[in-house]
Chains A and B, each alone.
Chain A
Amino acid sequence: EDKVVQSPLSLVVHEGDTVTLNCSYEVTNFRSLLWYKQEKKAPTFLFMLTSSGIEKKSGRLSSILDKKELFSILNITATQTGDSAVYLCAGGGGNYQLIWGAGTKLIIKP
């Protein structure tokens, strides 16, 4: 059965710290790994990764995919209180379905 597992489930850090969120996946006919940020509303798209070893970067956020070891990480440097959110990871296979992880709840303390 396809699954996506995120760790940790929750994380509390202080502003300015760097965090690494983990996502491991088992998805049949894997094609894509997506990261979303969810505050108190809709998930908003961050990254889509399809190739191993190529880092995607947006400001202080970056992500990379390892298709051999079946995982991805999301890094956030110099965290700010606005980074507090649930970060969702989803794996895409050969069709339209995304397999969603349970999310990592990140809390940034001032």
Chain B
Amino acid sequence: DAGVIQSPRHEVTEMGQEVTLRCKPISGHNSLFWYRQTMMRGLELLIYFNNNVPIDDSGMPEDRFSAKMPNASFSTLKIQPSEPRDSAVYFCASSLGIGVSTDTQYFGPGTRLTVL
């Protein structure tokens, strides 16, 4: 299996621009997680999908962030408009099953976002 695939790997954009991050989970996995990682705050869960349905988006920082999962093999995280404080590494992870904490989460390579 190719593992979790994310694109782009690096994104540099200017403040105010729209940014779209993409994720393809491991085939057969039912749960998908978007995380953000910064030096200051570590790993933070942004949103969790199960069977393509958003279950918990309480970690989404504000209305500028949105996420979709139109099918089992694709998800997007969009930031519009982007701000410098959004600069971070964004990880997508997937797990088999219903996403309980005993399901191992497998991480993608991440997208390093820099907003100038």
Residues of A within 8 A of B (CB): 31-32, 34, 36, 41-45, 48, 50, 88, 91-98, 100-103
Contacts and interface: CB of A to CB of B under 8 A. Distances in A.
Contacts of A50: 102
A97 B106 contact: no
B109 A31 contact: no
A97 B43 CA distance: 12
Q: How large is the interface on B (under 10, 10 to 19, 20 to 34, 35 or more residues)?
A: 20 to 34
Contact of A32 (B45, B48, B102, B107): B102
B69 to A, nearest CB: 15
B71 interface: no
Contacts of B43: 43, 88, 100
Given A42-B4, A96-B33, A96-B48, 19 more contacts: A31-B101, A31-B102, A32-B102, A41-B110, A42-B108, A43-B107, A44-B107, A50-B102, A88-B43, A92-B101, A93-B101, A95-B101, A96-B99, A96-B101, A97-B101, A100-B43, A101-B42, A102-B42, A103-B42
B34 interface: no
Contacts of B45: 97-98
